[in-house]
Structure 1
Amino acid sequence: MPESPEVDALAGFLRATATGRVIAGIELEEFRAWKSRERRPEQLHGRRVTGVRRFGKHVALDTDGPSLLIGFGRAGWARWREDGDPEPDDAPPAIARIGFEDGAELAVSDAGEWLSLSLTVTDDPTSEASIAKLGPDPVSDAFTREVFDRITGRRRKQLKALLQEQESLSGIGNAYSDEILHVAKLAPTAHAAALTEDERVRLFAAIREVLGSAFVARRDIPIDRQKAEKVAAMRVHGRTGEPCPVCGDEVRDVPGSKGNAQYCATCQNGGVPLER
């Protein structure tokens, strides 16, 4: 579920809500998620949160000591509970719970088929391999057309896969890659190296447009409604069998995606369905 627009909204919420609070303890329900083998959660006990930063699909809770880096992977997410608030009946099992001295709690969970959520205690989040390898943030001023051209260049890689490659562009996942390619009118199986100049212009503009709009739309949405709001905003992703909102053609599954990725043959491939 989470991609950079949703994680940015979560970071904004935590920045406003958790900053200044003191961590009382961290309970791990799934120890595989803890990546700091030589550093224990207890190192964060009694530490005051001083800020929150986002790196792609990661959030760093900075304290007056080390930081807690949370990677949400493919299906991780978080929920916040003030002291006295009941646990939601439909809440997924928590992977870890970060409790605060005033009784508030941040719980993180993972809804994927395999565990992708990670927690790391670190003195410098940017030195961690998961952050150091990230490509540029597509909504930052540093993501220029020149940078985009270097990333795509002569890559013999399909566009759908390239957009989701975190080492190339950070924060884009399955859903927004479908939306970007639909807006750019490009097939998900097209190769980056084969793009014409006009197609490159369209793809660069679509990345900025789709993500920029999503960042604005997700801002200030309660974190427990982020998934529903994201799903409702999709044009083609998750819309198999529905009419394309642009041309009316049927939205189809990308071959080989097992129903997890969608496209419009008319808008993106000259009216010809992709071969299976």
Structure 2
Amino acid sequence: MPELPEVEALTAYLSERLTGRVIARVQPVAISALKTYDPPVTALEGRTVGPVVRHGKFLDVAAGDLHLVVHLARAGWLRWKESLPAEPPRPGGRNPLALRVRLDGPDGDGFDLTEAGTRKGLAVYVVRDPAEVPGVARLGPDPLDPGFTPERFAELLHGEKRRIKGVLRDQGVLAGVGNAYSDEVLHAARMSPYKLASSLSEEETAHLYEALGSTLRDAVERSRGLAAGELKAEKKLGLRVHGRTGQPCPVCGDTVREVSLADSSFQYCPTCQTGGRLLADRRLSRLLK
């Protein structure tokens, strides 16, 4: 799933290619991806693209007084095409294409929104105000916002009775951090994913704040300037524990372990994060000794 660093890079990538251009045609293919109908997606046609910005994991392409807001979900992606096919896209079958946006001009360039797999989560909205999108309206503060201070972070954690892993992933608490980067942040902070957020000391909270900012900023820097098609590979290469079950921890050499949940999994290093203990997951009834 694209998270804050990848969506930030996509925002910059699209800004260079879309700002000031006119949308010639919008072709919806997967109706399930469309979450709004008034105004219709075709209302974007003929409008000039303005700023492209990010709200958490949401892309927001302004076009006149409308906004095309996209959440790529688990398996969605944006694919830029220097020359789109002239024939209209056909829905059905195994076609991953969900929406095509063609720009005005002789080259016929633009982008496709695609989604692989059978579990569909890609969401496309056309709204007059991004706050009309429920997921955008509920977002917590952005961790890379200059106004996001250590004090603000401590306020968010105060009284939280949930495990810190779940708190970091909660978009209503922090905007843009998902499963992968919460693993990376907790590894950088040398903190157990199961630690209760409300139990963190002042020193632990400060350390976690620093790990959060540095992990995300480093990921954004690695992604800066990359083409849309290169971002997935860059994300995978930059991860130290997430998705690396069974491999050695790059810090201490211990084996990276996994906890399996109902619909996802996360990874951690026992030596770096849990004092050598293995964490229980849904397949086990208690903490392993």
Distance in structure 2 (CA, Å) of the matches to 1:263 and 1:256: 14
TM-score (norm 2): 0.89
Tell me if the contact between 1:253 and 1:259 (Cα under 8 Å) persists in the aligned partners. Answer: no
Query: What's the counterpart of residue 183 of structure 2?
Result: 178
Query: What's the counterpart of residue 70 of structure 1?
Result: 70
Tell me if the contact between 1:44 and 1:65 (Cα under 8 Å) persists in the aligned partners. Answer: no
Q: Is residue 164 of structure 1 aligned with residue 169 of structure 2?
A: yes
Query: What's the counterpart of residue 209 of structure 2?
Result: 204
Change (3 A) 1:230 1:14: same
Query: What's the counterpart of residue 4 of structure 1?
Result: 4
Residue from 249, 263, 268 that aligns with 1:263: 268
Gaps of 5+ in 1: none
Please show how residues 11-90 of structure 1 align to structure 2 within 5 Å. 11-83=11-83
Aligned length: 272
Residue type of the partner of 2:103? F
Q: Is residue 96 of structure 1 aligned with residue 104 of structure 2?
A: no
Cα RMSD, aligned residues only: 1.9
Distance in structure 2 (CA, Å) of the matches to 1:123 and 1:174: 31
Distance in structure 2 (CA, Å) of the matches to 1:116 and 1:255: 21
Classify the secondary structure of the residue corresponding to 1:221: coil
Residue type of the partner of 2:169? Q
Change (3 A) 1:195 1:265: same
Tell me if the contact between 2:77 and 2:114 (Cα under 8 Å) persists in the aligned partners. Answer: yes
Give the drift of 1:38. Answer: 2.7
Give the drift of 1:196. Answer: 1.8
Q: Is residue 135 of structure 1 aligned with residue 159 of structure 2?
A: no
Residue type of the partner of 1:108? L
Give the drift of 1:41. Answer: 1.4
Percent identity of paired positions between Structure 1 and Structure 2: 39
TM-score (norm 1): 0.93
Distance in structure 1 (CA, Å) of the matches to 2:64 and 2:39: 17
Distance in structure 1 (CA, Å) of the matches to 2:231 and 2:85: 20
Tell me if the contact between 2:15 and 2:52 (Cα under 8 Å) persists in the aligned partners. Answer: yes
Q: Deviations over 1:86-137 (max 9, x none)?
A: 9xxxx97111111112211211122355222111111111343221110000
Residue type of the partner of 2:270? A
Change (3 A) 1:95 1:220: same
